[in-house]
Structure 1
Amino acid sequence: MNTSPGAHASHGLGSRLLAGQSIVLVAGALTAGLVATIIGPPIFHDHLLQAGHPSNSPELAHIEMAYRDASLISVGVGLLISLLAATAVTWFLTRRLRRPWTK
């Protein structure tokens, strides 16, 4: 176990970088999810009605449920990929920044 001051400082830096990037990712995901939830379904519903679907048909409800599920999965997968990318960038930056301190 390395207890040198440089090792401790770089570990703290990596944690802070990851925390900062995670906060930005969560804020972006919440914003995108909120906007998609508020704007997407009414627009999609209107387009379905314009396409000739009756407003109270079971098919319309099923199509709208599929739209909501697809949107939720898309935002979730996007957030997961973004979190993995943020972790990789943090790991890379921490290693690059730590290099001059340990030599």
Structure 2
Amino acid sequence: MACEILDFHGPHAAPLLPGHLILTWYQPDRRAPRIRVVSHTCECLPTTYELCSAAGQGFVRRTDRDKQTIHETSWTLSAVARHTFEQILRGEAR
């Protein structure tokens, strides 16, 4: 039986809006043995964003393939992390 992998693209982050929120980005912290990616932006751009969940908390991970860096927001309530991720998608924060 052949396995077909469908081409999947996540949403793109909108262009930054004037007066956007400037997020504080930190070096990744291995606080939990397992991290689940809840949602993510499209892989076609050099910078991607992932809404992550671990140990009952949430955060957003930013990967910049051009600079070869990975950063994340502070760990917080999952609802707050989801709101931050949505702000990134709308161009309201970076």
TM-score, normalized by the shorter chain, greater than 0.5: no
Larger Rg: 1
- Give 1 or 2: higher strand fraction: 2
Ranked by relative contact order (alpha carbons within 8 Å, sequence separation 6 or more), the top structure is 1
- Give 1 or 2: higher helix fraction: 1
Measured against the shorter chain, the TM-score band is: under 0.3
